[in-house]
Structure 1
Amino acid sequence: MKIRHCSPRPALNECSLESCAYQVDPYIGCAHLCHYCYALNGAETNWSREILYYEDIQTQLATELEGIPAQHIYMGWKTDPYQPCEEELKQTRRVLELLHSRGFSVSILTKSNLVLRDLDILTSMDQSAISLSVAFDDENTRELLEANTMSTLARIEALKECKQAGLRVSAMICPVIPYVNDPIPILEKVTPFVNKIWVYGLSILDESETNWKNIDDLLKKKYPSEYSEMRNAIFDRTHHFWAELRAEILDACSRRSFDLSIHI
């Protein structure tokens, strides 16, 4: 894996989420290389070989934040801020140090327990929120589709520690891939440690997208008998699979007390 500086570009960008006006992605590319990732459709480099980072993200971001009032900043839109190289490069930690010094807080989405390293900063920010993305109860399936990520157990333990530290914590069960992974067992495992659960289906718009090309052959080989129906459901959100799954999720959550947001 080659790690090198990126070409000049803003570190602070507008965010389309209702809860955050701005986002920061400390890296360009993500070595987690989840085969289904929507961000691969706009990848600048081959993420299996090269990850880019800002030469001096702290100084650059300090300038870009001038005149912007303290608020929530989102991290984790196009890259995982806690992908493996963060352990050495500490780009994300530098961003957090700066944001903390300016009175900002963060909403972070990650698949890594490395977020626990930064609890000292996160717990001293005002209402920072951490979300762990976790989708596969079966480790063989996880390794098929996102082999470079932390185990599901490690992520659930990270949720627990973040909650115990007093952070606002959520789990993102994503992606739900029809006839591949069942979100209900994951939902039951994370419920004690979260304030909110998000459920999202696989995000693929058409067969020309890179992330579909990445997983198409995998699904054909691994699930030959289910493949045809699986493909139909992936590209048709009116497919009966989604309505049935939504009903199952609502029933499973009917006796639990947390905020649930279903996007399937």
Structure 2
Amino acid sequence: MLKLYETSCQSALNRSRIPGMDYCLNPYTGCSHGCIYCYASCMTRFCGGREKWGSFVGVKRNFVEVLARQLRRPKTGSVMLASVTDAYQPIEKKYGLTRSCLELLTRSRLQVSILTKSDLVIRDIDLLRTMPSAEVGFTITTLNDRLAGLLEPGASPPSRRLKALEKLAGSGIKTWVFVAPVIPGLTDVPENLASLIKAARAAGALEVDFDPLNFYPSAVAGIRHLMARYWPGSRTAFEHACRDPAAYRQRLRALIRQLNK
């Protein structure tokens, strides 16, 4: 069961260490998507609770007011929503913090970049269209809705993300796809990656980027558990990549270059 908390924050607009991003906004703490490979699970120790990452969400109830105060001093550069959570996870339907932030950002000089696994973002097309530099990226790990439901059970199915991407692109908003992570033995089949590239471009994505799996112990353990239950035949390739991540990343880069020719 998802646990919900209401919290407060001292700062909303924070400096980002993500390449190409000057600032980040994280209106929620935690995430209900429950992705088994999530790199942000290590953030649990900073949240003050003992719940497993993916089982709780903290709502920063004063987030919009804090952001409004920070924006009184003009800012330039780029801002990402969000860096360690999804700004459009289901609880956004109730609280609307992300939409309220976008309303403030339409009056700023900041360039907005959104990365999400939710089709809820289409709700805010009206605001995004007023920001010529805004871009929306969708993380899509696989085109298979069933597989995605096991890897990222709380996120919108990939089929819905692609439909949302198509709607955004049709509204004149820059869109892109982030294939992340590429999981060895499971989602790195060349035919599957080629189909994903084709589907993304057909939906209007201007760019398709790939990111290999980061072999964090928690991510590896979660993937091993799923493979043992559903895809035992994939374990050999996965374990081989675990033993030599650098070689796996090199093979993947070569494959992506081939697919993009």
- Could you say which residue in structure 2 is the equivalent of 1:71? 77
Residues 10-21 of structure 1 aligned to structure 2 (within 5 Å): 10-21=11-22
Paired with 2:243 and 2:98, the residues of 1 have a C-alpha distance of 35
What is the deviation of 1:128? 0.4
CA distance in structure 2 between the aligned counterparts of 1:200 and 1:249, rounded to whole angstroms: 10
| Alpha-carbon distance between aligned partners in 1 of 2:245 and 2:220, rounded to the nearest angstrom | 16
Match of 2:260 in 1: 253
Q: Map residues 89-168 of structure 1 onto 2, 5 A cutoff.
A: 89-168=95-174
Amino acid at match of 2:142: F
Q: Secondary structure at the match of 2:142?
A: coil
Give the equivalent residue in structure 1 for 2:224.
216
In 2 relative to 1, CA 49–221 (structure 1 residues): closer, same or farther, beyond 3 Å? closer
Cα distance in structure 1, aligned partners of 2:222 and 2:12? 28
Are 1:35 and 2:36 an aligned pair?
yes
CA contact (8 A) 1:76 1:108 kept: yes
Aligned to 2:9: 8
Deviations 1:40-77 (CA, angstroms, capped at 9, x unpaired)? 12223434442101122111112223434233211121
**2: distance between equivalents of 1:204 and 1:28?**
23
State the partner residue of 2:210: 199
Secondary structure, counterpart of 1:233 in structure 2: helix
Name which of structure 1's ranges 184-193 and 38-47 shifts more when overlaid on structure 2: 38-47
2:200 to 190, 200, 207: 190
Q: 2:87 & 2:132 partners in 1: Cα distance?
A: 20
Q: Would you say the 8 A contact 2:114–2:135 is kept in 1?
A: yes
1:57 corresponds to 2:67: no
Query: Offset at 1:252?
Result: 2.4
Alpha carbons of structure 1 residues 234 and 92: separation in structure 2 relative to 1, 3 Å: farther
- Shift in alpha-carbon separation, 1:191–1:234, aligned structure 2, 3 A: farther
Query: Aligned partners of 1:100, 1:9: CA distance in 2, in Å?
Result: 22
Percent identity (aligned):
27
Task: For residue 204 of structure 1, give the secondary structure of its aligned residue in structure 2.
Answer: coil
1:244-263 deviation digits (Å, cap 9, x = unpaired): 43333222221xxxxxxxxx
Which TM-score applies when normalising by structure 2? 0.88
Aligned-partner Cα distance in 1 for 2:239–2:118: 29
CA distance in 2, matches of 1:200, 1:116: 25
Gap change, CA 1:173 and 1:116, over 3 Å in 2:
same
Q: Which amino acid aligns with 2:90?
A: P
2: CA distance between counterparts of 1:33 and 1:7? 23
**Partner amino acid for 1:187?**
I
Deviates more, 1:59-68 or 1:155-164: 59-68
Instruction: Give 1:143 shift.
Output: 1.4
Map Cα deviations across residues 165-215 of structure 1 (whole Å, 9 max, x no partner): 11111100111000101322211110131111110011224x3xx333333
Write the distance in 1 (CA, Å) between the matches of 2:151 and 2:96.
Answer: 26
Q: Distance in 1 between matches of 2:153 and 2:210?
A: 21
Q: Which runs of 5+ in 2 are unaligned?
A: none
Deviation at 1:127, TM superposition (A): 0.6
CA distance in 2: counterparts of 1:231 and 1:109, whole angstroms: 30
Change over 3 Å in CA distance of 1:64–1:235 after alignment to 2: farther
Alignment partner of 1:227 is 2:227: no
Cα RMSD over matched residues?
1.9
Unmatched 5+ residue regions in structure 1?
255-264
Q: Is the 8 A contact 2:138 2:165 kept in 1?
A: yes
Q: Is the 8 A contact 1:57 1:94 kept in 2?
A: no
User: Within 2, Cα distance between the matches of 1:133 and 1:8?
Assistant: 27
Rounded to whole Å, the distance in 1 between the matches of 2:219 and 2:245 is 18
Q: Give the number of equivalent residue pairs.
A: 250
Contact 1:2 1:50 survives alignment (8 Å) = yes
